[in-house]
A and B are shown apart, each in its own frame.
Chain A
Amino acid sequence: MNVLSNQANVPITAPESEEVSVDTIRARRRRRILVNSLRVLILVVFIGGWQFTTSVGIVDPFFWGQPSGIWNQLVTWVTHGTAQGPLWQQIAVTLEEAVIGFVIGVFFGVIFGVVLGRNRFLADVLSPYIKAANAIPRVTLAPLFVIALGLGSQSKIALAAVLVFFIVFFNAFQGVREVDRNLLANARILGASQRRLSTEVIIPSAMSWILASLHISFSFALVGAVVGEYIGATQGLGLMIQYAGTTFNANGVFAAMVILAVVALTTEVLVTALENRLIRWRPNTAGEVTV
C-alpha cells in the first residue's frame, strides 16, 4: 500500500520534476553541440580531403578544381571583378531575373490553380494538356525563349516563370481540392458569397500547400535564370559558369556554384520567414524539428 502510493507520488513531487527538466535541457544542449560539431567535421573532412588529394596529385585539379583555387577565384572576382563586369552586378542580374520570374510564376500559378481547382469542368477539359505540358522537361524552352525574347533578361524571366508556374499551379490546385468540405459548408451557411468563399476560405486553406511549394519553386526560379543565361546572355552568374566552362576553368565553375548556393540559402531563409508570418495559425510543428 505504502509502496504503491509512493510510486504514484514520484512524478508529482517538485524537486524530482525540476531535476528532470534541468536534465532534459542539458541533454538537449549537449545534443545540439554534438550535431554542430559533426557538421563542421564533415565540412573539414570534405574540403580537407579535396585539397589534399588534388595537392598530392591523386585527383587532377585541372578537371575537378581545388578548394584553394576556388577561394582564389572568389577573391579575384570580388576584388577585380569578372570578365563580364563587377561580381555584384552579375549576382544582381541573376537574382533580379529569378525574383521577377518567381513573382510572375507564383501569381499565375496561384490564379490558375484556384480557378481550375474550383471549376471541375474546366479542370476536366484541360487536364490532358496540363499533364502533357508537365511531362515535357521545361528547360528545353530556354533556346526558344532566347530566340523569341533575345539575349536580355526577358528570356530568363520567362524561363524562370514557366518553371515556377507549374510547381505552384499543381500545389495550389491540389490545395483547393483538399479544402475541408465542412468549412465550405459552414462558410456558405454563414452567408459567404462565391468571391468571399474564395478569398476567405479556399485561398487561406490552400495557403499551406502553396507556401510549401514556394521553397522548392524559388530554387527553380534560380535554375531558370541560370540556364537561360547559360544558353545566351550578356551578363549573369549563368554566363560566368558558361564562360568558366568553355575556358576550362573548373575553379570558376565551382566558385559560381558557391555564390549560387549562398544566394539560394539566403532566399530560403526569407521564404521561411514569410511562411511563418502567413500561417501563424498553424500548430507549430516546424519548431520542434531540428533543421
Chain B
Amino acid sequence: MNNHLPMQDELTSTQNASSLGTYSIELRGATKRFLTPSGKVFTAIRDINMAVAPGEFVAVVGPTGSGKSTTLGLISGLEQPSEGSVKVMGKPVQGIDQRIGYVFQADAVFPWKNVLNNVATGPRFRGQPKAQALEHARDWIARVGLSGFEDRYPHQLSGGMRKRVALAQTFINKPQILLMDEPFSALDVQTRTMMEDELLQLWSSHSASVVFVTHDLEEAISLADRVCVITSGPGTVKGIYTIDLPRPRKVAEIRFEPRFIQLYHQIWEDLRDEVVISYERAKQKGAH
C-alpha cells in the first residue's frame, strides 16, 4: 500500500485534477495478469497509477504490446484487474458501465446492420422505442456527415466512413467517459487528420473524459490535455506530460508550432527507450 503515496503526489500536481476532488477515472496499482494457453502467467500491465479528471482528454502512448488496450479493458469493465483498484466516477468498476463509450481499433460496427440501424444500436439496447431511436440515429448520422448513407451496409463504405459510423454509434449514447483504442490507426494519413479534427469537435461540444490509446506520439500531442507514456510490457506509467497547447486546435497545423515540437522532443526522449526495448524483444522472439 505504501507505494501508492508517490502516485498521489503525481496526481495532485496535474493541473485541474486537484481542484475537482473526484476523478472520472482512477487506476491505483492496477495489475492485470493473463494465463497463457501454455499455462504460463503473462503480466500485461503492472502497477498502473493514472487519474483522469472530468472533461479531460488523456492520451496513452506506448510501444506495441505494452498493455494499452488492457488498460482500457479494465476501465470499461470488460476485464477485471488482478490486483489494485479501478474506479469510474468515484466507484469501483463492476461490470459494464452505461456511461462509458468505447471505440475499438478494429472495425466493430455490425456488418449485418445498415448505417441507420448500426447507429441506433445503443439506444435500442438501452430500451429506447424504435421510432425514437431511429430518429435520434438520423440526427447523429447527419452530425458525422453521413446523411444519405443510412441504407448502406458497412461493406459498402470506405474505412473512414465506417469509423464515422463507429463514432456516431458511440457518441449517440452521450458517454461521460470515452475510451478509444487506436481508433484511426487503420486509416490513411489524410483521412486520419480529418477524423482527428472531427473527434475534437465532437468532444468539445460534449465534455466527456477521454482516454485515447495510440502508438503515434504526434496524434497524442495534437489531441490531448495530458500524455501518459507507458513502458514496454508489462506496461506501467513512465511519465505524464501536460500539453499546454491552446484549444481549439487544428490537427493538421498544430504540428508546426514550436511548442508542439518542443513537447514532442521532450516526450520522445522518454518513449524512445521503450520503443527500442520493445523492438529488441520482438527481434529476439523472432530469432528463437
Q: A281-B153, A283-B155 are in contact. Are A207 and B125 (CB under 8 A)?
A: no
Chain B residues with CB below 8 A from A192, complex form? 125
- In angstroms, Cα B72 to Cα A186, docked, is 13
| Sample (19) of A-B pairs whose CB atoms are under 8 Å apart | A182-B104, A182-B106, A182-B107, A182-B108, A185-B78, A185-B102, A186-B108, A188-B96, A189-B100, A189-B101, A191-B96, A191-B98, A191-B122, A191-B125, A193-B125, A204-B112, A207-B112, A281-B114, A281-B153
Q: A191-B126, A281-B111 are in contact. Are A186 and B155 (CB under 8 A)?
A: no
Encoded as 1 (CB less than 8 Å from any B CB) or 0, chain A from 10 to 38 comes to 00000000000000000000000000000
- In angstroms, Cα B125 to Cα A227, docked, is 47
Known pairs A186-B104, A191-B122, A205-B112. 11 more at Cβ < 8 A?
A182-B107, A185-B102, A185-B108, A186-B102, A188-B96, A191-B96, A191-B125, A192-B125, A204-B110, A281-B153, A282-B155
- In angstroms, Cα B112 to Cα A282, docked, is 7
Interface centre among B96, B109, B111, B112 (most CB of A within 10 A): B112
Determine whether B169 belongs to the interface, using a CB cutoff of 8 Å to chain A.
yes
**Which residue in B109, B111, B114 is a CB contact (below 8 Å) of A282?**
B111
**Which residue in B106, B114, B121, B155 is a CB contact (below 8 Å) of A187?**
B121
Determine whether B28 belongs to the interface, using a CB cutoff of 8 Å to chain A.
no
Encoded as 1 (CB less than 8 Å from any B CB) or 0, chain A from 174 to 210 comes to 0000001011011111111100100011001101000
**Interface size counted on chain B using CB atoms at 8 A:** 26
Chain B residues with CB below 8 A from A280, complex form? 153
Chain B residues with CB below 8 A from A196, complex form? 125
- In angstroms, Cα B50 to Cα A4, docked, is 59
- In angstroms, Cα B169 to Cα A283, docked, is 22
Chain A residues with CB below 8 A from B110, complex form? 183, 186-187, 200-201, 204
Give B148-163 interface residues, CB cut-off 8 Å to A. Answer: 153-155
- Taking CB as reference atom, which chain A residue is nearest B104? A182
- Taking CB as reference atom, which chain A residue is nearest B106? A182
- In angstroms, Cα B114 to Cα A200, docked, is 13
Interface centre among A201, A280, A281 (most CB of B within 10 A): A281
Nearest 5 Cβ contacts at the A-B interface: A191-B125, A186-B108, A190-B122, A281-B112, A182-B108
Chain A residues with CB below 8 A from B155, complex form? 281-283
Chain A residues with CB below 8 A from B104, complex form? 182, 185-186
- In angstroms, Cα B119 to Cα A186, docked, is 12
Chain B residues with CB below 8 A from A183, complex form? 108, 110
Determine whether A258 belongs to the interface, using a CB cutoff of 8 Å to chain B.
no
Determine whether B174 belongs to the interface, using a CB cutoff of 8 Å to chain A.
no
- In angstroms, Cα B112 to Cα A207, docked, is 10
Report B118 CB to chain A, min CB distance, Å. Answer: 10
Determine whether A279 belongs to the interface, using a CB cutoff of 8 Å to chain B.
yes
Chain B residues with CB below 8 A from A186, complex form? 102, 104, 108-110
Give B88-104 interface residues, CB cut-off 8 Å to A. Answer: 96, 98, 100-102, 104
- Taking CB as reference atom, which chain A residue is nearest B173? A190
Report B49 CB to chain A, min CB distance, Å. Answer: 25
- Taking CB as reference atom, which chain A residue is nearest B179? A189
- Taking CB as reference atom, which chain A residue is nearest B111? A281
- Taking CB as reference atom, which chain B residue is nearest A193? B125
- Taking CB as reference atom, which chain A residue is nearest B109? A186
Give B123-138 interface residues, CB cut-off 8 Å to A. Answer: 125-126
Determine whether B76 belongs to the interface, using a CB cutoff of 8 Å to chain A.
yes
- In angstroms, Cα B40 to Cα A22, docked, is 63
Chain B residues with CB below 8 A from A187, complex form? 110, 121, 125
Chain A residues with CB below 8 A from B76, complex form? 189
- In angstroms, Cα B77 to Cα A122, docked, is 25
Chain A residues with CB below 8 A from B98, complex form? 191
- In angstroms, Cα B195 to Cα A116, docked, is 41
Chain A residues with CB below 8 A from B107, complex form? 182
Interface centre among A191, A193, A279 (most CB of B within 10 A): A191
